[in-house]
Amino acid sequence: MDICITFKIMLDNTEINVDDFTKAFSELEVDNLEEVSTLEPAKEEDEPENKAATKETVTTEEDDNQASTTTPDAEPTIYSGIVNLVKEEAGLFGSLEADKITDATQLVEAIRSEIVEGVEDYKNSLPDAVRSIIQNYEDGVPLRDLIELQSNETELESITDDDLEDKDLQKRVYAQYLRSTTKFTDAKIEKEINKLDDLDELGDEAKNALEELKELSKSEREAYIAESKAAREAEENARQEQIQNLKKDIDSTQEIIPGVKLNQKEQSELFKLMTTPIGFTRDGSPVSKVQEVRAKDPVGFEKTLNYLVMKGVFEKNYDLFKAVEAKGKTKAISEFEKTARRAVEAKQNGLPAKAGASGLSKDILNAL
């Protein structure tokens, strides 16, 4: 696989795992790996020979001492070679010093920084309206509502005085204004518009209405965004409170299966299992461990879960050990009855006890 292609794949994935990243590059099929790992930026051309010839070289004892204590340059690595190659081929990592990248972790962090910087540069190049939609969406405002509100505002802003000379547009603008500011029925709105048209005042009223509509649309959008952000913040606060309460509950839980004590490590692992997603869906929704297990065998998962519910496992006073003990006793009694029956039949028929019978079975047989 070509290194630049692999790097592009990694760039497309904003969630980068260092181990996966290292493994991906270790499996690259590069014809001359040594050449890649030692790839360095192009050096400046040497100075003209005449300058070099006329330049005096003065070597002092201090220079000798300094030269002897100079640390040799670090050996290029596969990671620094990748940075240099991507610089030349893809134009990325412009300001990054390749010799500072010595392991996979540093390379992954460099990629993350490049992604973030690229995204921010792209957002800053967009029109203000689009940038506003993106920013508010990232803050938790529903995208569909943002687009609808912004579209209405943009449409109103695009109407010029020349456009408003059109009679049909005047009627639509004034009708929208009345719907936004009154509780008039459609019939009442149409009557008001016709009256203004007859008085030849519709054009002026439509111009005034357009300016008010612009302000109303802007205020509506800002109010909706503020409400959405407040609701998102309240939701997040409630979620954090639930997590804290769950932590307290787990820490105070001594046992879940009666008789089996929970230690501190198990409490910590249980809390992590219940609160930490193991991954995310394509739309960004978190996936828990339980969801992963269910997804592997949905029918088997539901069958087992419903069986446990049927047996009362989730009832408050359910005692697993008593249930197991009862099950064991039932099996033992059944086995005892079978053995006793065989012993009685053998005695009645004058047959000897079956070889291998248990001591209890022999006792029963002798007692008959």
Please state which of the ranges 14-18, 78-82, 131-135 shows the lowest mean pLDDT: 14-18
The pLDDT assigned to 153 comes to 87
Which residues have a Cβ under 8 Å from the Cβ of 22 and sit 6 or more positions away?
Answer: 104
The pLDDT assigned to 41 comes to 42
The answer to whether residues 121 and 178 touch, using CB atoms and an 8 Å cutoff, is no
- Give the DSSP letter of residue 99: G
Percent of the chain with pLDDT over 90: 30
- Nearest 5°: the CA angle 70, 73, 76 is 170
277-330 pLDDT tens trace: 988 888 778 899 999 999 999 999 999 999 888 888 777 776 665 655 555 555
The answer to whether residues 280 and 286 touch, using CB atoms and an 8 Å cutoff, is yes
Rounded CA-CA distance 214/225 in Å is 17
Indicate whether 61 pLDDT > 50.
no
Phi, psi angles (nearest 5°) of residue 92: -100, 175
The pLDDT assigned to 18 comes to 47
167-226 pLDDT tens trace: 999 999 999 999 999 999 999 999 999 999 999 999 999 999 999 999 999 999 889 999
pTM of the full predicted structure? 0.48
Percent of the chain with pLDDT over 70: 63
The pLDDT assigned to 148 comes to 87
Burial (CB count <10 Å: 0-12, 13-18, 19+), residue 34: exposed
Rounded CA-CA distance 320/62 in Å is 83
121-148 pLDDT tens trace: 888 888 887 888 888 888 888 888 888 8
Indicate whether 15 pLDDT > 60.
no
The pLDDT assigned to 315 comes to 77
Rounded CA-CA distance 293/7 in Å is 32
Rounded CA-CA distance 352/363 in Å is 13
Cross-strand bridge partners of residue 20: none
Count CB-CB contacts under 10 A for residue 32.
8
DSSP three-state, residue 358 = coil
The pLDDT assigned to 29 comes to 41
Q: Are strands 286-287 and 279-280 parallel, antiparallel or unpaired?
A: antiparallel
The residue type found at 291 is: Q
- Spell 102-123 as b/e; 16+ CB within 10 A means b: eebebbbebbeebbeeeeeeee
Split at pLDDT 50, 70, 90, the class of 95 is: low
Mean pLDDT across the chain: 74
Average pLDDT over residues 147-172: 90
The pLDDT assigned to 350 comes to 65
The pLDDT assigned to 134 comes to 86
Average pLDDT over residues 47-56: 45
Residue ranges of domains in the chain? 3-124, 128-237, 277-317, 320-367
The answer to whether residues 5 and 30 touch, using CB atoms and an 8 Å cutoff, is no
Print the SS3 string covering 210-232: HHHHHHHHHHHHHHHHHHHHHHH
Q: Give the residue from 243, 272, 270, 241 showing the smallest Cα distance to 254.
A: 270
Indicate whether 276 pLDDT > 50.
yes
- Spell 129-145 as b/e; 16+ CB within 10 A means b: eeeebeebeeeebeeee
Average pLDDT over residues 77-103: 72
Indicate whether 159 pLDDT > 80.
yes
326-366 pLDDT tens trace: 555 555 556 655 666 666 566 566 666 554 445 544 544 44
The pLDDT assigned to 242 comes to 94
Q: Give the residue from 146, 150, 148, 136 showing the smallest Cα distance to 229.
A: 136
Cross-strand bridge partners of residue 255: 261
